[in-house]
Structure 1
């Protein structure tokens, strides 16, 4: 799907158009899951090769950020899927040439929808390609910040659930759910860090191409601000990642303690019933000469001995603090 945006009195607005019939004033061409034919038409329109999917997902900076035929081609890893509870990353490519922007993506990041809403508001400097690019990048950073805030709250809640043993609601832990929640948090954190590293490289690339893009002093200040935000968010994400790892290790340790407590109970029970078992085994032997066999009170005495030995062993364990 291709969406074309043109300047308006407030910012930019979408119009109905195709690649074959673009309005002269278009500033942003958003390509979502474009067909090969549409990519070819855009390549001819800009007189530049649109990078293939294989080229865009390569991790080398030179394959993601470069200048070709007067166009700046930048690919960044963008976080998406967090609303559905299945965070993933997708590669979005931005091509800036002649004050126009072309974005190529194969998913629906929330940040792009946020950028569209911002571009429609009055006062937003999105009347050209580089302005719209900064709006999109700012929306991506803001979205990551929102997701990190939510992750921080979820981490604190899980921490309270794991360690607050005095709460009646936490008397019986469901460690299976806790471990799964921590695993999801860890996966999301890794996706966020991957996206932030990619964005930091893109911001650095923009800084070295200030003159090519024609960035104003305000634009340069915004790029520096985005760079600082990306760095601080990465540090926060790394801190959360360490906390999630700690909580996972603590949860596994508590599971081991719980298992050890269960094994300890079985071990104590085995020792408690060992003396009665010894007495019962002794009098279960089939020898002809056993004086106790003819005792009138032999059976109750044997039972009393087994009970006394079990209670005595239990009392010793309680006295030593092993139970």
Structure 2
């Protein structure tokens, strides 16, 4: 389904609400380029786009395949890019990864999204908001896509950092084991890393003019977006390392709590052992036994038990076991 379409001339949008046939006709004549945004395209829609815009068959087949890594490839005069975009659901702690397919030709820029969400708003704002860059041609649309994706990744990593700080507070301020929360969060961070790292190769290729050379103005903003992508990649790596350290700290605190519990159990077991031993000895029913005929024998035995228990309790509290 087409969700946005226009023709840009001299950096300005001069036509909107174009169908595929009209967009292809405008792309073949005049100046500027045609922009087309398609959400969740079916096979028939891709075939129609391929027919009217002359898209390479191999690129169309790639666009039909999901779960590809970010990449950039030239098919003759058509540049095909696969870009991953991410969203983070704070309520569920889940990372939603979707895919954008970008076709860039001499007079057109087509962007296909596999998600029902609004991923084109930021792209359009960049295209409309930078007329000097847009005037340089359809490669400006590719820059707008990449810059939007990187910005979305930065927002996601900020949310992941906030969540990591919450888990960190729980580790050091609560007595519950946070291993599961740390592991699940680490998995989301690693998933984000698998999205971000392949994009660096895309930016590196565009910076070297591979597979196509971008106009100077576009290359400048692409370098800036590439710097942001590298910074994002570094933040993801730092966050991953931070979670590794947090997991180790959590396991250490769990071990400490277990040791404290074992100390308390051992201390109470030792305290309980003394009266048990004394009572066990007096319960042997021997005829010749000290203090059996002494009127104060029973109170004396009780007093010895109480004194021994009190002494042990005081000693264990002194050494921090109770």
1:104-158 CA distances to partner (integer Å, 9 max, x unpaired)?
Answer: 2212566533223333446463364211111121111122222223333443454
User: Paired residue for 2:47, among 25, 36, 40?
Assistant: 40
Contact 2:150-2:229 within 8 A present in 1 as well: yes
Match in the other structure for 1:29: 36
SS at match of 1:261: helix
User: Paired residue for 1:133, among 117, 142, 146?
Assistant: 142
More divergent stretch after superposition (310-319 vs 260-269) = 310-319
Match in the other structure for 2:156: 147
Aligned pairs for 1:1-323 (under 5 A) are 1-7=1-7, 11-12=12-13, 15-20=16-21, 22=23, 24-25=25-26, 27-47=34-54, 48-49=56-57, 50-52=60-62, 55=65, 57-59=67-69, 64-82=71-89, 85-108=93-116, 112-121=120-129, 123=131, 125-126=133-134, 128-163=137-172, 170=173, 173=174, 175-176=176-177, 178-209=178-209, 212=212, 215-290=214-289, 292-323=291-322
SS at match of 2:154: helix
Shift of 1:218: 1.4
SS at match of 1:175: coil
Shift of 1:57: 3.1
Find the aligned partners of 1:30 and 1:187 in 2 and give their Cα distance. 32
1:163-196 CA distances to partner (integer Å, 9 max, x unpaired)?
Answer: 4xxxxxx4xx1535x4454345423322332222
Shift of 1:70: 2.0
Find the aligned partners of 1:75 and 1:251 in 2 and give their Cα distance. 39
Find the aligned partners of 2:35 and 2:254 in 1 and give their Cα distance. 54
Find the aligned partners of 1:41 and 1:14 in 2 and give their Cα distance. 21
TM-score w.r.t. length of structure 2: 0.82
Find the aligned partners of 1:82 and 1:318 in 2 and give their Cα distance. 48
Distance 1:12 1:244, change over 3 A: farther
Contact 1:77-1:194 within 8 A present in 2 as well: no
Shift of 1:310: 1.1
Match in the other structure for 1:166: none
More divergent stretch after superposition (285-294 vs 186-195) = 285-294
Distance 1:124 1:274, change over 3 A: farther
1:7-40 CA distances to partner (integer Å, 9 max, x unpaired)?
Answer: 3688448944543554644622222211111111
Distance 1:185 1:134, change over 3 A: same
Distance 1:109 1:182, change over 3 A: farther
Distance 1:306 1:51, change over 3 A: same
Contact 2:6-2:15 within 8 A present in 1 as well: yes
Number of aligned residue pairs: give it: 310
Contact 1:112-1:140 within 8 A present in 2 as well: no
TM-score w.r.t. length of structure 1: 0.82
